[in-house]
Amino acid sequence: MTASLALGRNVKSLRGRDLISIADLSSEELQFIIQTALDFKRRFYAGERIIPVLRGKTLLMIFQKPSTRTRISFEQAMVQLGGYVISLGWKEMQLGRGETIADTARVLSRYVDGVVARVYNHGDLVELAKYAAIPVINALSDKEHPCQIIGDMLTILEKKGRLAGLTIAFVGDGGDNVLHSLLLASAKLGINIKIGTAEGYDPDPEIMKLAMEDANRTGASIEVLRSPEDAVKGADVVYTDVWVSMGQEAEREKRIKDLSRFRVTPELMSLAKSDAIFMHCLPAHRGMEVTDEVIDGPQSVVWDQAENRLHAQKAILALLL
Ligand code: CP
Ligand code: NVA
């Protein structure tokens, strides 16, 4: 499907900026990054595997939690942009022995051109960005996963040919980090969002407030519903994520019990539009938040979604670094 975003072309430069939250971006800037990701993907498939706009630049990646897609797509993105990557676990650095985030940030700024970090506490990323003189990019925190959602918007644009006016249903944990970024991005892009979740699992109120402000401007609607069926009815996209995120293992039993009604099954999918797509940021807990029939079924776009992380990371890195 041919797709492109008319807007976002007036954005001058994002160089030097951090990407801690989708809320850091204006609607135009978000569209500009998505359009740039689409351009990188098209050029890749046209045979330009290496576009060396970051030659001579080094990216440091710090991981406090496991990662497959984010780590590998960022590393490969740097390779395809002609740059270099250093990837370390939090505990391999003096951070693990208590060196402050502020001191670490000051030192890193003397060595590398940007930092990508995956952390437990969102506040640690905010602290890193505060003291770093180089761009800091959120590779997932307990609160948000902005890079995931930039890739996901590319996927939705490719599959549906547009973004504004679509309806996304998110079914599962309403307090999920991926959902928070999805909510903020949808509101900025004029996409309606219906969240089906259990009582006690609503989105972070601060995220809701920010999203509502943007939604009022773009005309997007935001609904939090207690019925998964009501949430998916008429949706263009059905999205879910795990019920137990990294760091929430102690609440595992309770979360599984509380959210068990919010599983994406073929019956649930049948209530969405007939051409609805199914999305999941992965890793999936098959049989828990989604059944095999759905994730392996004809409506699932999860592998394209995973691939698009690569093209989205190239856009993010090329524009910020
Ligand atoms: N979706 C995602 O961020 O996957 P990883 O945890 O494998 O990076
Ligand atoms: N919500 C999940 C996303 C993983 C990419 C987690 O934080 O574990």
Contact 136, 122 (CB under 8 A): no
Give me the DSSP letters along 112-159.
-SEEEEE-S-HHHHHHHHHH-SS-EEES--SS--HHHHHHHHHHHHHH
**Whether residue 235 is found in the same domain as residue 116:** no
Q: Stretch 193-203: mean pLDDT, rounded?
A: 98
176 is catalytic: no
Whether pLDDT at 22 is above 60: yes
The residue whose C-alpha atom lies closest to atom 2 belonging to ligand 2 is 245
Ligand nearest to the CA of 71: 1
Q: So what's the pLDDT on residue 4?
A: 57
Q: How many Å apart are CA 139 and CA 111, to the nearest integer?
A: 20
Q: Stretch 210-235: mean pLDDT, rounded?
A: 98
Q: What are the pLDDT digits (tens) for 223-253? A: 999 999 999 999 999 999 999 999 999 999 9
18 is catalytic: no
**Whether residue 166 is found in the same domain as residue 263:** yes
What's the pLDDT band for 8 if we cut at 50, 70, 90? low
Decide: 281 in ligand 1 pocket, CB within 6 A. Answer: yes
What's the token pair of residue 83?
A: 């740059």
Contact 113, 57 (CB under 8 A): yes
Decide: 148 in ligand 1 pocket, CB within 6 A. Answer: yes
Q: So what's the pLDDT on residue 275?
A: 98
Catalytic residue among 122, 145, 280, 311: 145
**Whether residue 114 is found in the same domain as residue 157:** no
**Whether residue 184 is found in the same domain as residue 251:** yes
Q: How many Å apart are CA 153 and CA 29, to the nearest integer?
A: 13
Ligand nearest to the CA of 66: 1
Q: Stretch 46-74: mean pLDDT, rounded?
A: 98
Of the two residues 195 and 1, the one the predictor is more confident about is 195
Catalytic residue among 69, 263, 280, 309: 309
Whether pLDDT at 9 is above 80: no
Range of the structural domain that residue 195 is part of? 148-305
**Whether residue 117 is found in the same domain as residue 172:** no
Q: How far is the CA of 47 from the centre of ligand 2 (A)?
A: 33
The residue whose C-alpha atom lies closest to atom 1 belonging to ligand 2 is 245
Q: How far is the CA of 311 from the centre of ligand 1 (A)?
A: 15
**Whether residue 185 is found in the same domain as residue 299:** yes
Decide: 72 in ligand 1 pocket, CB within 6 A. Answer: no
Q: So what's the pLDDT on residue 180?
A: 98
Distances (CA, A) of 168 to 85, 156, 318: 35, 10, 29
Q: So what's the pLDDT on residue 11?
A: 78
**Whether residue 127 is found in the same domain as residue 154:** no
Give me the DSSP letters along 7-68.
SSTT----TT--BS-GGGS-HHHHHHHHHHHHHHHHHHHTT-----TTTT-EEEEEESS--S
Q: What is the CATH number of the domain that holds 205?
A: 3.40.50.1370
* Pocket lining for ligand 2, CB < 6 angstroms: 140, 176-178, 241-242, 245-246, 281
Ligand nearest to the CA of 245: 2
Q: Give the position, in ligand 1's atom list, of the atom nearest the Cα of 145.
A: 3
Q: Give the position, in ligand 1's atom list, of the atom nearest the Cα of 65.
A: 6
Please choose, from the candidates 7, 308, 316, 3, the residue with its C-alpha nearest in 3D space to the C-alpha of residue 146.
316
**Whether residue 161 is found in the same domain as residue 227:** yes
Q: So what's the pLDDT on residue 86?
A: 98
User: pLDDT exceeding 90 applies to what percent of the chain?
Assistant: 96
Amino acid present at 321: L
**Whether residue 228 is found in the same domain as residue 161:** yes
Q: So what's the pLDDT on residue 3?
A: 60
What's the token pair of residue 233?
A: 């009815």
**Whether residue 132 is found in the same domain as residue 152:** no
Total tally of structural domains belonging to the chain: 2
What's the pLDDT band for 12 if we cut at 50, 70, 90? confident
**Whether residue 298 is found in the same domain as residue 313:** no
241 is catalytic: yes
The residue whose C-alpha atom lies closest to atom 3 belonging to ligand 1 is 70
| pTM value > 0.85 | yes
Decide: 167 in ligand 1 pocket, CB within 6 A. Answer: no
Q: How many Å apart are CA 193 and CA 195, to the nearest integer?
A: 6
Among left, alpha and beta (phi > 0; psi -120 to 50; other), residue 234 is left
Q: How many Å apart are CA 186 and CA 181, to the nearest integer?
A: 8
Q: So what's the pLDDT on residue 165?
A: 98
Q: What are the pLDDT digits (tens) for 101-158? A: 999 999 999 999 999 999 999 999 999 999 999 999 999 999 999 999 999 999 999 9
Decide: 70 in ligand 1 pocket, CB within 6 A. Answer: yes
Mean pLDDT score of the chain: 96
**Whether residue 152 is found in the same domain as residue 297:** yes
Q: How far is the CA of 255 from the centre of ligand 2 (A)?
A: 14
Element containing residue 192 per DSSP (H, E): strand 192-196
